């Protein structure tokens, strides 16, 4: 990052704080002061920020693939992809400094994650953009994950706690001075826009198929098509007095693709 980028990102951060002050939403500093009075809570917040975001997202993708109806899983997956794309555009065109990097003498924010030696490979790698506070993908992802689990998980205990995840992440990103409250608001709107336009990715399928052809390979069978084929094979097996698994070997690759 050049000096101009850093100065610009600080100016944007000051603008966000000015808006929060005008609206009475500047709660980050007060929240951090409360959390820092409780050592165990601070350690939990630091470790969660540093270690949970990426593994939780990967685990969610795996779980939703297994548990959600195929069209729902595909829509959620595309939403996360579009979230990344939209956020990258904003990060690149509108850099924003997180609270922890603002001048301490003037603002008093503490970088609790690094000061508490809770940093991980995901918070210290050389490819990380340190000036990308707005919008908050930590909150955006957690909102998608929490709402999706609440609406579509077939397991009641997961639905009970699902909405608590974005709330927890919201508190953590502010208490650790990694984001402003308006960063989370930005992350929320990015996810909403991403959900509304995620179908646009379907127009890229011809490029995907062309890439597969160049690599002389084939795309794995679509989950929805596979489930349809499996259901049809179950009907066939029932008619023949067997089990679905006994009939799956009778389906050729062409049969599965055409199902």
Q: Where do the domains of the chain lie? A: 18-204, 220-258
> How far out from the chain centre does Cα 223 lie?
22
In this predicted structure, the answer to whether residue 259 has a pLDDT above a threshold of 60 is no
pLDDT confidence bin for 159, thresholds 50/70/90: very high
Cβ–Cβ under 8 Å, residues 129 and 94: no
In this predicted structure, the answer to whether residue 251 has a pLDDT above a threshold of 50 is no
CB 15: neighbour CB atoms within 10 A?
13
3-state secondary structure of 96: strand
Provide the b/e sequence for 158-168 (b: ≥16 CB within 10 Å): eeeebeebbeb
Look at 93 and 125; give whichever has higher pLDDT: 93
Backbone torsions φ then ψ of 219, nearest 5 degrees: -70, 140
Q: What is the mean pLDDT of the chain?
A: 85
Mean pLDDT computed over 240-244: 56
Return the axis-axis angle of helices 164-175 and 39-51, rounded to nearest 10°.
110
pTM score: 0.80
Q: Which residues contact 87 (CB under 8 A, 6 or more apart)?
A: 132, 135, 137, 140, 187, 190
- pLDDT 10s digits, 160-209: 999 999 999 999 999 999 999 999 999 999 999 999 998 888 887 788 77
Looking at residue 219, the DSSP 8-state letter turns out to be P
pLDDT confidence bin for 70, thresholds 50/70/90: confident
pLDDT of residue 200: 82
**Distances from the Cα of 133 to the Cαs of 13, 115, 203, in angstroms?**
8, 19, 31
Handedness of CA 27, 30, 33, 36 (dihedral sign): negative
Burial class (CB in 10 A: 0-12, 13-18, 19+), 41: middle
Cβ–Cβ under 8 Å, residues 169 and 80: no
Residue 96 forms beta bridges with which residues? 132
Cβ–Cβ under 8 Å, residues 132 and 97: no
């Amino acid at each position: 990052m050049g000096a101009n980028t850093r100065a610009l990102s600080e100016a944007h951060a000051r603008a966000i704080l000015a808006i929060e002050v005008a609206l009475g939403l500047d709660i980050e500093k007060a929240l951090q002061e409360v959390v820092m009075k409780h050592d165990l809570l601070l350690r939990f917040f630091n470790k969660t920020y540093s270690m949970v975001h990426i593994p939780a997202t990967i685990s969610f993708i795996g779980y939703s693939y297994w548990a959600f109806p195929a069209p729902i899983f595909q829509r959620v997956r595309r939403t996360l992809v579009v979230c990344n794309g939209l956020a990258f555009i904003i990060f690149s065109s509108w850099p924003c400094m997180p609270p922890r990097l603002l001048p301490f003498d003037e603002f008093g924010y503490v970088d609790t994650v690094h000061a508490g030696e809770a940093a991980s490979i995901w918070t210290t790698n050389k490819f990380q953009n340190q000036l990308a506070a707005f919008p908050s993908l930590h909150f955006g992802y957690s909102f998608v994950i929490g709402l999706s689990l609440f609406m579509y998980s077939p397991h009641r205990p997961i639905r009970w706690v699902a909405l608590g995840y974005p709330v927890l992440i919201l508190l953590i990103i502010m208490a650790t001075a990694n984001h402003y409250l308006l960063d989370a608001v930005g992350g929320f709107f990015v996810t909403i826009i991403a959900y509304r336009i995620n179908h646009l990715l379907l127009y890229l399928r011809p490029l995907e198929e062309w890439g597969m052809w160049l690599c002389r390979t084939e795309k794995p069978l679509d989950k929805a098509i596979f489930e349809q084929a499996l259901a049809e094979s179950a009907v066939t097996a029932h008619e023949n007095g067997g089990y679905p698994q006994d009939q799956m070997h009778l389906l050729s690759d062409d049969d599965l693709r055409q199902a």
